[in-house]
């Protein structure tokens, strides 16, 4: 058995590479015409992995990162795309980051808040998608403000608007897109964290993890990650070295 065959056997023991697509982050994944035709850098990287290892690929869609994390305990996927977080590392092994994304706040135009630090005050309520990378980060770092959790990141924006909360936390690009679509909203210019997005495998698949690490390093070096991002209209995203 060659090294690639051994990696393929460990990564996809069923013989099919089951890939979790997190549609809660539209910067990285966008729905296609049907479930097996997703778009975005995550989908393109998954197809490249499958091609190199000689595996058929099967996509499974989820509406939020938390749903992807929960699904690993039910053995629903072999490969996923998630933000690196120590809490998730209990059951998941991450590659090095292939994309850096800013976490920031959506606020109302008339809001007094000008920087992210100003929101950590008593009585401030911030909408956030439950289990998202920025939910986990803010849960550890906010000392005074309260988090109000919605099922998904998209729902968090709706919650912010409907309940007239102080802010919605999220990824900069979709927040800015939403702000452009409605009057009276703006996105703060700075960020409370840089979210490191990575490829992920179940923690026990150590051989596959080592291969994925080398794969993503090569994809970044050869410019493929940047190309996949540009192909899906996300060229303004940072690819770390």
Question: pLDDT by residue (tens digit) across 8-64?
Answer: 999 999 999 999 999 998 899 999 999 999 999 999 999 999 999 999 999 999 999
Alpha carbons 19 and 216: distance in angstroms, whole number? 16
pLDDT in the model for residue 90 = 85
pLDDT in the model for residue 229 = 95
Nearest alpha carbon to residue 114 among 189, 192, 179: 189
Between strands 125-129 and 146-150, the pairing is parallel
pLDDT in the model for residue 97 = 97
pLDDT in the model for residue 68 = 96
pLDDT in the model for residue 86 = 87
pLDDT in the model for residue 239 = 94
Nearest alpha carbon to residue 222 among 48, 101, 82, 57: 48
pLDDT in the model for residue 214 = 97
Q: Are 100 and 25 in contact (CB under 8 A)?
A: no
Helices (H), 38-171: 41-53, 65-72, 133-141, 153-162
pLDDT in the model for residue 235 = 83
pTM (2 decimals)?
0.84
pLDDT under 50 in the chain at which residues?
A: none
pLDDT in the model for residue 59 = 98
């Amino acid at each position: 058995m060659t090294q690639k065959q051994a990696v393929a056997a460990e990564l996809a023991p069923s013989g099919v590479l089951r890939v979790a697509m997190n549609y809660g982050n539209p910067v990285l994944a966008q729905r296609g015409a049907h479930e097996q035709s997703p778009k975005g850098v995550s989908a393109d990287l998954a197809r490249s992995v499958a091609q190199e290892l000689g595996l058929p690929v099967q996509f499974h869609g989820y509406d939020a990162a938390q749903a992807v994390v929960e699904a690993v305990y039910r053995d629903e996927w072999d490969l996923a795309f998630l933000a690196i977080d120590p809490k998730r590392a209990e059951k998941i092994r991450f590659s090095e980051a292939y994309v850096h994304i800013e976490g920031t706040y959506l606020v109302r135009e008339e809001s007094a808040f000008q920087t992210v630090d100003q929101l950590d005050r008593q009585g401030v309520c911030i909408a956030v998608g439950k289990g998202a990378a920025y939910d986990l980060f803010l849960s550890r770092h906010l000392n005074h403000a309260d988090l109000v959790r919605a099922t998904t990141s998209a729902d968090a924006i709706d919650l912010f608007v409907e309940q007239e909360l102080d802010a919605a936390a999220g990824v900069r690009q979709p927040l800015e897109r939403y702000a452009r679509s409605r009057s009276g909203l703006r996105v703060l210019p700075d960020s409370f964290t840089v979210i490191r997005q990575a490829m992920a495998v179940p923690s026990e698949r150590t051989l596959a993890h080592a291969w994925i690490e080398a794969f993503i390093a090569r994809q970044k070096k050869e410019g493929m990650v940047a190309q996949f991002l540009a192909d899906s209209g996300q060229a303004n995203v940072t690819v770390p070295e």
